[in-house]
Structure 1
Amino acid sequence: MRRVGQPTAHVVFCPHAGGAASFFAPFVRHFPAAFDLSAVQYPGRQERLDEPLVPTVESLADHLLPILRQFATAPVPLVIFGHSMGASVAFETVLRLAAEEPVAPCRLVVSGRSAPSVPRVHAYATTDREILDDLARLGGTQAQFVNDPEIMEVFLPSLRNDYGAVARYRPDGEAVLDAPLLCLTGEQDPRVSPEEAAAWKTHTSAEFRLESFPGGHFFLSDHREAVARTVADWAGSSHGDPYTAAGA
């Protein structure tokens, strides 16, 4: 998305279920010029359409780990930002980075996702019709294409795969990261209550911050500038970890 020579921070975005790296492209112009920005392109979509889909959240994190390892050793902050399913991918990736020797410190931003310790209370869509109805209800970039059979023929395989990955995902509800954690949530998100978002606080022994925005599950699409500013300000400040970034 954007690489700079001497970045203030590396921000890596992990998309939602059925989403692609291009979802985060509009955010680039709202980040300070010194921020290095990348978005994960999961297999099976856009330019990786011919590659096999990855069926679990854990496997996606495993695939992502060697790519992020190069950033995690750099003398600038690594910020992993995940929305919805991407928040779970980001969480699992940070857990894996934290288990390595030497430990690779990073920061985590989760958006549109209940904390791992929150019990599941709703059933996940399984049939194509249920998935499309759920997508239309939540909004998001694909919602406008729900009634276009040709477009949905391209989208459906990744949607089926990702909805299944989310349904099968069983996070460690007692996992605690030694990493600053920023949680972003929509005030009217039907999937995440304020209490379920605030519960992310129990999953870090470092600084925790919760920011709410007007809107539903895809609130960040309506508040790109505010979201980018929030993340940039947070990433550019010192959190008592080995990184002290400047110039944000």
Structure 2
Amino acid sequence: MGEQQLFLACLPFAGGGAGFFREWEKLGISEVTMLPVQLPGREERFLDDPFTEVADAVAELTPRILADAGEGGAIALFGHSLGAVLAYEIARELERIGHPGLSHLYVSGSPGPHSGRSERATGLADKEFLAGVQRFAGYRHAAFDDPELAEVLLPVLRADVEMHENYRASGTEPLSVPITALRGEQDELVSREQAEQWAGETRGPFAYRELPGGHMFLVDEPERVLRVIAESRA
């Protein structure tokens, strides 16, 4: 790939938005051009209905990523937790349509795509739902402590969690693109063994990287994450 600029399309975790990754642009990692991907129902897409099915998300987001990267752009995909399965399915779609620019898939804080979710929060009352999400997301956004904000944000979080809990991989054929799995060293939700399940999802190179922190290590260590990506370019 030489010195070709890398466009990094970033898919958010449940309840997250593109604003999280727009902060990463300020870090000024010159080798990487950030493409924060906005899901409906949040920030500037507040009025749009959120996705509840991964397939619907892939159908809308894939052409948008291609348009943002432009003709001939080298595209890598990064996603954390829910974002990891979205990134994986978008990678599958890019390979299905034969797009030549896909260069790498980075999956963070996620077991392999065929593991499924055993514990469910979908359908619980608000208090129990938030407690369940906090337990298996390892993260609670401060906005949920504000009743008015929580009322606005809950429908989006519920849709994201439903999308993740109902997700089933669209196929079993390994990708040809390299995969790097990232995980926080103290992650109590996703084990190293689970993160390394991604090795079976590619015929290309696979790498496993641990960074300091727990499940949401990327909140505190964004520059380290981007350095891993910049240094792993083919």
**Considering the TM-score relative to the shorter chain, is it more than 0.5?**
yes
Structure 2 CA distance for partners of 1:183 and 1:101, relative to 1, 3 Å: closer
Tell me if 1:77 matches 2:113.
no
Distance in structure 1 (CA, Å) of the matches to 2:194 and 2:138: 20
Contact kept in structure 2, 1:7 and 1:36, CA below 8 Å: no
Distance in structure 2 (CA, Å) of the matches to 1:36 and 1:195: 31
Q: Could you tell me which amino acid in structure 2 is paired with residue 110 of structure 1? A: V
- For 2:169, what is the secondary structure of its paired residue? coil
Q: Which runs of 5+ in 1 are unaligned?
A: 1-5, 239-248
Q: Which runs of 5+ in 2 are unaligned?
A: none
Contact kept in structure 2, 1:136 and 1:146, CA below 8 Å: no
Tell me if 1:12 matches 2:9.
yes
Aligned residue number for residue 196 of structure 1 = 194
Share of identical aligned residues, percent? 34
Aligned residue number for residue 169 of structure 1 = 167
Distance in structure 2 (CA, Å) of the matches to 1:160 and 1:7: 39
Tell me if 1:215 matches 2:207.
no
Distance in structure 2 (CA, Å) of the matches to 1:56 and 1:195: 27
Structure 2 CA distance for partners of 1:150 and 1:102, relative to 1, 3 Å: closer
Q: Could you tell me which amino acid in structure 1 is paired with residue 48 of structure 2? A: E
- For 1:106, what is the secondary structure of its paired residue? strand
Residues paired across the two proteins, number: 229
Aligned residue number for residue 41 of structure 1 = 38
Q: Could you tell me which amino acid in structure 2 is paired with residue 82 of structure 1? A: G
Contact kept in structure 1, 2:4 and 2:74, CA below 8 Å: no
1:75-97: CA deviations, max 9, x gaps?
Answer: 44211111110111110001011
Distance in structure 2 (CA, Å) of the matches to 1:201 and 1:83: 17
Contact kept in structure 1, 2:74 and 2:101, CA below 8 Å: no
1:56-111: CA deviations, max 9, x gaps?
Answer: 11211111111123467744421111111011111000101101145553311111
Query: Is the deviation greater in 172-181 or in 7-16?
Result: 172-181
Instruction: Choose which of 169, 179, 182 in structure 2 pairs with 1:181.
Output: 179
Query: Is the deviation greater in 129-138 or in 157-166?
Result: 129-138
Q: Could you tell me which amino acid in structure 2 is paired with residue 177 of structure 1? A: L
Contact kept in structure 2, 1:115 and 1:199, CA below 8 Å: yes
Distance in structure 2 (CA, Å) of the matches to 1:34 and 1:207: 21
Distance in structure 2 (CA, Å) of the matches to 1:75 and 1:69: 9
Aligned residue number for residue 241 of structure 1 = none
Contact kept in structure 2, 1:18 and 1:155, CA below 8 Å: yes
Aligned residue number for residue 157 of structure 2 = 159
Query: Is the deviation greater in 213-222 or in 176-185?
Result: 213-222
Structure 2 CA distance for partners of 1:148 and 1:158, relative to 1, 3 Å: same
Contact kept in structure 2, 1:31 and 1:232, CA below 8 Å: no
- For 2:120, what is the secondary structure of its paired residue? coil
Q: Could you tell me which amino acid in structure 1 is paired with residue 105 of structure 2? A: L
1:94-147: CA deviations, max 9, x gaps?
Answer: 101101145553311111111013354x3121222233113444444x522232
Contact kept in structure 2, 1:73 and 1:104, CA below 8 Å: no
TM-score normalised according to structure 1 size: 0.84
Q: CA RMSD in A?
A: 2.1
- For 1:146, what is the secondary structure of its paired residue? helix
Contact kept in structure 2, 1:213 and 1:219, CA below 8 Å: yes
Contact kept in structure 1, 2:40 and 2:49, CA below 8 Å: yes
Query: Is the deviation greater in 47-56 or in 26-35?
Result: 26-35
Distance in structure 2 (CA, Å) of the matches to 1:182 and 1:31: 22
Instruction: Choose which of 105, 129, 132 in structure 2 pairs with 1:131.
Output: 129
TM-score normalised according to structure 2 size: 0.89
Contact kept in structure 1, 2:31 and 2:230, CA below 8 Å: no
Instruction: Choose which of 16, 23, 26 in structure 2 pairs with 1:26.
Output: 23
- For 1:24, what is the secondary structure of its paired residue? helix
Query: Is the deviation greater in 148-157 or in 212-221?
Result: 212-221
Query: Is the deviation greater in 10-19 or in 32-41?
Result: 32-41
